[in-house]
A and B are shown apart, each in its own frame.
Chain A
Amino acid sequence: MTSQKTSTETAPPGGEAQRETFHAKGLSVAKVGAIGGAIIGISCIAPAYTLTSGLGPVVSVVGLQVPAVLLIGFIPMLLVLFGYRELNSAMPDSGTSFTWATRAFGPWIGWMAGWGLIAATILVLSNLAAVAVDFLFILLSQITGNPDIADLTGELWLNILITAVFTALAAWISYRGVEATQKVQIALVGFQLLALGWYVVAAFVAIGSGNAYDYTPVTLDWFNPFAAEGGLTAITAGVSLSIFLFWGWDVVVTMNEEAKDPKRTPGRAALITILVIVALYMLVTIATLSYAGIGDTGLGAGNPENQESIFAVLSSPIMGPFAILMSIAILSSSAASLQSTMISPSRTLLAMGYYGALPPSFKRISPRFKSPSVATIASAVTAIVFYTVMRLLSENALWDTITALGLMVCFYYGLTGVAAFWFFRRTWFRSVRNVFYRFLFPLLGGLALLAMFVKTAVDSYAPSYGSGSALFATTYDADGVAQDGVGLVFVMSIGILVLGVIIMAVCAVRNPAFFRGAILPRAAAPAGE
């Protein structure tokens, strides 16, 4: 981001533009140091939200080996981020993955990378709104002392209605351009860390006093991914879920002009962020598993009933009356995240409209608020429709959404990594730095994520995958797990991609210029850099 001022001047006679210059003027950009960067990173990850949504599904696939999976989960993402950072400084653009993949691999793959990003962000928007609504009801019941209110979230129509209202509100706020300030962001992050810290301490106190629900001692096995029961299938499923848990971290790495020292600050901020997040995830996971075990009944972390939102179930027994802290932390962080995430799909839709990959109405920018108008409305409406359909299809909509989300992130991050590798092909061996940042890291990370995408997609065809919801299922076992049909996670993720291919084909027929490569032609970074 650069701040600049441009002037175009006309002078009499004739009123013609005599001079057209772009020049930067001393406009302030808030400078961010390493700690500030880490706060931004943590707030984008929103750990209280990701843990409550993501921990259950990870436990359900890898059991006690969650710590191991989390420790390896961020590595492919980190590798891709190096490529992401290189691309971001070479081609800053609202379209990010869409624009970069189009440059590297041409319009068709580029379009699908953009679609993957939009799909992933729309999935997370619907999930964020739903989690915010769940905890709104939980918070209300904690305030009033009436447990019945928390159950209101199970009322389908009420849940869908309020989720839609939350999403629409977030879209309106992001369209109007109201921003969270530094103070608000620090408060939100601080509150999340406080609530999660309290949860961990309270869990260990309960364990120490023998009050744990199902005390399970920590063993070294927890950190050994190969001890997971499901083998490779379980590990890849777990890792692709953990990608979701670390998602959002990219903002720190791509900080440039905002950084106090662009060479060092982003690296340090990313390091602090990842240390804090990994430590937090480890502590919360270990506390949760030792306290509740992975049994599939009651408070057990393996209970399918508890997968959708682990803190909704566990924070009250563990924290007692202070569970209200957790509710506030999750409600505030998911609401804030909902609003800031809304911008991602709308920016990509804007870019796709601008380059002719989508109908031109998507490139509309509001003159008053200087934000994408059609793209923002489209994102919000799609998120609401998607959530409504999912709720109606599956009782475990949130669980399956998170699993599908992990897949989508693997897909577009994977493509982005490989795109970075290919775009910089003429510069790979210009320096030792390039060998790592432009060749090895993005290639390895990209391929790993794409491989995980394929493996998980194949596995998710099974009707029992994820929550056990399936389309075309005719028989169910005693736990309500479908015995035949096609797994809902597969339908959702592959279905979304197939839908993307169809929409892409329609766009290609209607507006072929982009698809001929005429607007955003293939390119490669020049060899000199």
Chain B
Amino acid sequence: MGYTADDRGFEALALATSLARRADAELVITLILRQPSPYSGAESGLYTNDPIVRERVTTWEREALACVPDGIRARTELRAADDEASGLLDAVAEHDASVIVIGARSNPLLQAIAIGSTANALLHSSEVPVALAPVGYGHTTGVTRVTAVYGTRPGAAAVVGTAVEAADRRGVPLRLLSLLPADETAETVVDEAAEQVRRFGGEALGSRAEEVLAREATTVEVVGGTDLEDAVTRVDWIDGEIALVGSSRLAPRGRVFIGSTAQRLMRRIPTPLIVIPRDYSYGPASV
């Protein structure tokens, strides 16, 4: 996860902690220091070997670790990089991370989640799902429900598959949420879902999906409205819930590329949002 020692960082940390519970995941709390370019003048920037920076960073690391509850494996890591996004992507590659967790920049003009430049860069290039903690997020005791959000188009296999897998592994309720459907009903959603999961994760996960979909805890909501924003406001969210959305059709294969629908959702949904890469494939390192 990406960490800055401010409110956004602590919100991301809370979400990362919540995700790591019951997923047997290790948290890598990554602090990025800008790598000053020698061409910007040798006096520029603060260096990683400066004793002042060293002390400050150590304090930040200690603060972060103090927030991690017992029982969750966590470590901090200091990285030097040209910018936060590339540093985080390096960390993802090195640790074979399953998800990047970052905080959203607060912007008083936009509600709930507004994207900063780091988030924006990650949401258009990451090869692993990107989880965004909304401003003010503080739930650390584990995911309570997993919701796969579909836009107006049929939900992507990756979103449904990942959601089924994540809910099943954590043993929490699953919700399939279809917004602004043209001619969908709860039944058609369920019928398609198992097939989509089978395409995503093969026969084994497909049959798990049929089982999960048949559970009482699994809910299907088909919500309409005058527009997307209107539809979203009709949906209830519970504390500790996570929402999964897919990438734009414009996304290069295997990468996150947030679409305009997902961007609109981000501003309305009060719950953490996880953006799944296009054609994300099922593997052991899942959300």
Contact = CB atoms under 8 A, between A and B. Distances in A.
A416 to B, nearest CB: 14
A94 B47 CA distance: 9
A396 interface: no
A15 B72 contact: yes
B52 A354 contact: yes
B44 A367 contact: no
A95 to B, nearest CB: 8
A358 to B, nearest CB: 13
Given A30-B38, A181-B37, A354-B52, A5 B78 contact: yes
A40 B38 contact: yes
Contact of B50 (A27, A29, A92, A258): A92
Nearest to A88: B42
Given A15-B65, A174-B44, 14 more contacts: A1-B48, A11-B73, A13-B70, A29-B38, A36-B39, A43-B39, A177-B34, A184-B39, A185-B39, A254-B42, A340-B43, A365-B53, A368-B8, A369-B34
A32 B68 CA distance: 41
A368 B4 CA distance: 6
A6 B77 contact: yes
A182 interface: yes
A7 interface: yes
Contacts of B36: 1, 179
Interface of A: 1-15, 17, 27-30, 32, 36, 39-40, 43-44, 92-94, 174, 177, 179-182, 184-185, 251-252, 254-255, 258, 340-341, 343-344, 347, 350-351, 354, 363, 365, 367-372
A251 B41 contact: yes
Contacts of B72: 12, 15
A185 B69 CA distance: 47
Contacts of B79: 5, 27
A252 B42 CA distance: 8
Contacts of A181: 37, 39-40
Contact of B52 (A17, A29, A341, A363): A363
B41 to A, nearest CB: 4
B75 interface: yes
Contacts of B34: 177, 369-370
B60 A4 contact: no
**Chain B CB within 10 Å, residue with most, of A27, A36, A351:** A27
B37 to A, nearest CB: 5
A40 B77 CA distance: 31
B198 to A, nearest CB: 36
Contacts of A184: 39
Contact of A92 (B8, B43, B49): B49
B35 interface: yes
Given A4-B49, A8-B75, A258 B42 contact: yes
Question: What are the nearest 7 A-B pairs in CB distance?
Answer: A9-B75, A367-B5, A179-B40, A251-B42, A340-B41, A258-B38, A185-B39
B61 interface: yes
